Amino acid sequence: MKFNKKQRIAIFGTSADPPTIGHKKILEELSKIYSFTITYASNNPHKKHKEDISFRSLLLKTLIEDLNNPKIIFNQEISSQWAIQSIKKCKNIYDLNNLDFVIGSDLIGDIFSWKSFETIIKEVSFLIIQREGYAIESNALKMLKNYKVNFEISSLNIPNISSSMVRLNTNYSNLPKSLIDIVKKHNLYIST
């Protein structure tokens, strides 16, 4: 698939451990802002994942199929534990110059220690989604400006739901309905 150079394209990598109604809402909202949003499940080197990436990508793919929105593209091929590799793969596959990297406000402090951070900030602009309970600190904003990072803070209103909250809740209330059968069938996210 080739995109028009004038289209706004977002890349949204997530651990999806599991994807929540929060992820669903983010994707729905991104589809209102961007011509296309490309998403994938990834291994975050700073997190210990509950389930294997094969299950997490299956869950995310199922969620995307259920959304049935042509502006949201699932592409597990671009997945890497390193953001820079996912960005480069995405740019190569889709022949892109401009790309917005979507990140939650809970990860802002981490990006300065990401592998190839100096290259990443030349390759993409950031769209920062504010997560309830994770205020964007003035120190982080100052660092973003000092590094001359291109970024925008989204005004999206996203429910305060995290994957870790879903893992603790056995009634599946914050899990998208399309994922419940898969989670039950494979005995995923059983409390330990």
Domain at 69, CATH number: 3.40.50.620
Task: Note down the domain range covering 42.
Answer: 9-132+142-185
- Smallest Cα–Cα separation from 72: which of 23, 121, 120? 23
Asked if the structure places residue 2 within a domain, the reply is no
Model confidence at 36, pLDDT cuts 50, 70, 90, reads very high
d(CA 145, CA 116): 18
Query: Average per-residue pLDDT in the chain?
Result: 92
In a domain, 192, yes or no: no
Decide: 97 and 7 in contact? Cβ < 8 Å. Answer: no
pLDDT score for 192: 45
Q: Is the pLDDT of residue 51 over 90?
A: yes
Q: How many helices (H) and strands (E) does the chain have?
A: 8, 6
In a domain, 18, yes or no: yes
Q: Percent of the chain beyond pLDDT 90?
A: 72
Burial class (CB in 10 A: 0-12, 13-18, 19+), 152: exposed
CA 97, distance to chain mean position in Å, is 20
According to the model, what pLDDT value does residue 87 have?
98
pLDDT tens string 86-131: 999 999 999 998 999 999 998 898 999 999 999 999 999 999 999 8
Q: Looking at the 3D structure of the chain, how many domains does it have?
A: 1
What pLDDT sits at residue 170?
72
Q: Is residue 190 part of a domain?
A: no
Q: Is residue 89 part of a domain?
A: yes
pTM: 0.93
Domain assignment present for 97: yes
172: in domain: yes
SS3 128: strand
Under the banding of pLDDT at 50, 70 and 90, the label for residue 191 is low
Per-residue confidence (pLDDT) for residue 135, from 0 to 100: 85
Asked whether residue 137 is domain-assigned, the answer is no
